[in-house]
Amino acid sequence: GSLGMTAGVDILFTPSDTGPAVRFSRLNFECSNAERGALGLTVLPMTSVKGPPQQFIQSVSVEVRASFKSSPRCKLEIFLPDGGAHMISFTLPLFLSRFAAPLRLTPQAFLAAWWDPSLHVSQARLSVPKRFLRDTELLTALVTAGGALAVCERVAHPMAENALLAAGVLRFPGAGGDIGPRLVRLFLRCWFAAGQASGLLAVEVKADDPEVAE
């Protein structure tokens, strides 16, 4: 049976030029995994979507057994009807928060957990596409990894002003068969550092595990 946390990643491929003359005759997808101890990958059969435009969906089932630092590398070979071929390499977009379960806390419980001195902390600033600035629901879905993290509202504290707060828990398998899962709490605070119009999102992460916090 599965020991780690499992989630699916769907990748959509479609010609950049959607004219009727531009079509894929065949696609070949490969995924290499340098962290086999931490990640398990299953590449599922590629499916096609009725067009136009022509679209293919490649699904990858990912099992996370431990925190990881490097995501798998993917290679896509595109074959065209005229015999031409192209190759694209990219990193599979994996974030540990995607594999979390929502941790629903009262405002008081969130604050108590946030100020826990044993938590490991990291901070970053991200440039957010404009479409996320105009749609609060879209931005929330981005920050919470599609609802994997639970949003905590009505936190009465200066650090919560104009910020989005979220929490989740990661369940890593124990070190032995008789040991239960290792639970790692994950807390997020996001806010626009220079105002929403800047598109610069400040992110502060706290977690029980230093590699998860990174």
Residue 18 has pLDDT above 70, yes or no: no
Q: DSSP states of 80-109 as a string?
A: -TTS-EEEEEEE----GGGG-EE----HHH
Q: Distance between CA atoms of 186 and 148, rounded to whole angstroms? A: 11
**pLDDT per position as a tens digit, 46-67:** 998 877 777 899 999 999 988 8
Structure tokens at 171: 């369940």
Residue 36 has pLDDT above 60, yes or no: yes
**pLDDT per position as a tens digit, 61-109:** 999 988 888 889 999 999 988 888 999 999 998 888 889 999 999 999 9
Residue 204 has pLDDT above 90, yes or no: yes
Q: What is the pLDDT of residue 136?
A: 86
Q: What is the pLDDT of residue 131?
A: 80
Q: Please indicate, yes or no, whether the overall pTM of this predicted structure exceeds 0.85.
A: no
Q: What is the pLDDT of residue 43?
A: 94
Q: Distance between CA atoms of 201 and 191, rounded to whole angstroms? A: 6
| Residue whose C-alpha is closest to residue 67's, from 212, 214, 213 | 212
Largest CA distance in the chain: 64
- Produce one character per residue of 19-34: b if its CB has 16 or more CB atoms within 10 Å, e if not: eeeeebeeeebebebe
Residue range 121-148: mean pLDDT, rounded: 88
When the pLDDT of each residue in the chain is averaged and rounded to a whole number, the result is 87
Return the percentage of the chain with pLDDT > 90, whole number.
Answer: 52
Is it true that the peptide bond before 93 is cis, omega within 30 degrees of 0? no
